[in-house]
Chain A
């Protein structure tokens, strides 16, 4: 057992090392994609906590991603605040919105909850579009300042790469702790048997609402970082399609695996890119791959090692 732990740590260290030198070897476009994979990991992590730990399908993540992005854009460009306070504002608004809509909606379950979040996300997109005094509508808001720490500006893909992946690793570690601790135990108990969990004095509704708020906060953080990275935000980035992509990240990765979120995020950023060689067919091929994953691989990519092991054990 200690040997597997050691092997795990070595593998982890090797991945980290490779991660550190990637921006130096890859061309700019690839680094750019890796930055997006990092942003999507953060947003997808929230959706994954809901799906994997609570069994909740959240189709509203683009709403919170949008709130974060617009909070950053409006507070820095129009109000002239510092970027960091814009990020905090976005997270605060997102968490507040999540509590307000989550409190009534999280009484629903399964299909109904999923479609309720889809409806909430769609309403959000309409408001982003209609409130053009705030969001700039289809024209969007441009000219966001880059993030900076002590005068060091994260103004190139390579620099932003280190920032976003540092954030990703911190969040993944925190989430792993959350999931392996008491809150995680309570969440899994309610996912697997809600009545039994309730008997054990787990307050189902409170936990679900808290995780929903946490997920929304992660969505807003990703949105704010996205806004400062691309320096331009518009309605197209926050549609229901984006929510579906965020949902796919944990689905493809295997929803119960926290670190697997990275694989899911890499999948949704790089596979469409690889398929773009097929021209207009690439979206369709991506859709087919997705349907195949859902149909044939219930545990997502994270389930592949176990499957291979089972096959060889026979």
Chain B
């Protein structure tokens, strides 16, 4: 087997890693802010990708504004879900299973709605920075992939600062760690949960916009993305955005090696098996307890 093939495959794996990481970061943000595992994070990506395609192609918006539309749509759906579904369920103190069923139901509904409104076809977007490629060690990487990685890293840094340095970020964490304590010092817990969903939705939509130029966006891709993102988040210890990047790298790169070594059909088997093993053997993620606190 020649080394260029392996490098090429690893390069593709690296790009996928950051897609999984971005979805995982969204799951981590929502879990951190609400203690809910969001099984429709991948569908935020579908919403973001689809609305950007709509803005660019059908409405004729400039690229940047189309992206803004996509992200706004993700954020708005996050808010809508919180206000319409999560809030009444919190009020009646629904159990964990009910929230999981809710997000699974929403994933099903959104996928069906996108199918109904947008149709069966997959849609592509032009890459950020054009459709060019650069050569690295004899293998090719698209310029867009480099932008994708850079933007993902920016998001991680931004979240790190947001959760440590801003009042809003700290309040959001406080509201989830100790709702009663947070209320007693004047934090509006319900509003913070709303912000968390807005943030999670926006990050999900961003992931969708960034992945669309690579693999295109279609109505049924949400669940697959959610699972990979969840795998990345679990490896990272679930609350830590930086951990999700590490988890994304493990999943993405092992997948790409599985493609070279086994066959492309088994790449999801490898990724999901790693996730299952991690959940059973290292429930706190690769970074251990420290990873749970950090980020």
Main secondary structure of the interface of B (DSSP, over half): helix
A13 interfacial by beta-carbon distance below 8 Å: no
Least Cβ–Cβ distance between A113 and chain B, in angstroms: 9
B56 interfacial by beta-carbon distance below 8 Å: no
Report whether B97 and A130 are in contact in the complex, using a CB–CB cutoff of 8 Å.
no
The CB with the most chain A CB atoms within 10 A, among B96, B97, B227, B275, is that of B97
* Contact digits for A104-146, partner B, Cβ 8 Å, 1 yes 0 no: 1101101110111011101100110110000000000000000
The interface-forming segment of B46-54, B99-107, B240-248 is B99-107
Report whether A118 and B112 are in contact in the complex, using a CB–CB cutoff of 8 Å.
no
Report whether B112 and A283 are in contact in the complex, using a CB–CB cutoff of 8 Å.
yes
The CB with the most chain B CB atoms within 10 A, among A59, A111, A129, A287, is that of A111
Closest to A57 in B: B97
Count of A interface residues, CB-CB < 8 Å: 41
A63 interfacial by beta-carbon distance below 8 Å: no
Known: A127-B269, A286-B112. A298 touches B276 (CB 8 A): no
Please name all residues of chain A whose beta carbon is closer than 8 Å to the beta carbon of B94 when the two chains form the complex: 298
Least Cβ–Cβ distance between B191 and chain A, in angstroms: 20
* Contact digits for A55-92, partner B, Cβ 8 Å, 1 yes 0 no: 10101000000000000000000000000000000000
A27 interfacial by beta-carbon distance below 8 Å: no
Known: A105-B280, A108-B279. A280 touches B109 (CB 8 A): no
Closest to B109 in A: A287
Known: A105-B276, A119-B275, A129-B265. A294 touches B101 (CB 8 A): yes
* Contact digits for A260-297, partner B, Cβ 8 Å, 1 yes 0 no: 00000000000000000000110110111011001110
Report whether A284 and B112 are in contact in the complex, using a CB–CB cutoff of 8 Å.
yes
Please name all residues of chain A whose beta carbon is closer than 8 Å to the beta carbon of B230 when the two chains form the complex: 115
Report whether A283 and B97 are in contact in the complex, using a CB–CB cutoff of 8 Å.
no
B182 interfacial by beta-carbon distance below 8 Å: no
Taking CB atoms and an 8 Å cut-off, the chain A residues in 232-278 that contact chain B are 240-241, 244, 247, 251
Report whether B268 and A114 are in contact in the complex, using a CB–CB cutoff of 8 Å.
no
Report whether B106 and A291 are in contact in the complex, using a CB–CB cutoff of 8 Å.
yes
Q: How far is the CA of A115 from the CA of B234 in the complex (A)?
A: 11
Please name all residues of chain A whose beta carbon is closer than 8 Å to the beta carbon of B215 when the two chains form the complex: none
Beyond contacts A59-B104, A114-B100, A120-B276: 9 other A-B pairs, Cβ-Cβ < 8 A, are A111-B96, A115-B230, A116-B276, A116-B279, A118-B227, A119-B231, A122-B268, A130-B266, A251-B101
Closest 8 CB pairs of A and B: A287-B109, A283-B112, A111-B37, A284-B112, A119-B272, A291-B105, A290-B105, A110-B96
Please, could you name 18 A-B residue pairs with CB atoms under 8 Å apart, sorted by A?
A: A55-B97, A57-B97, A104-B276, A105-B279, A110-B100, A116-B276, A120-B272, A122-B227, A123-B273, A241-B108, A281-B116, A283-B115, A284-B113, A287-B110, A287-B113, A288-B109, A291-B102, A294-B101
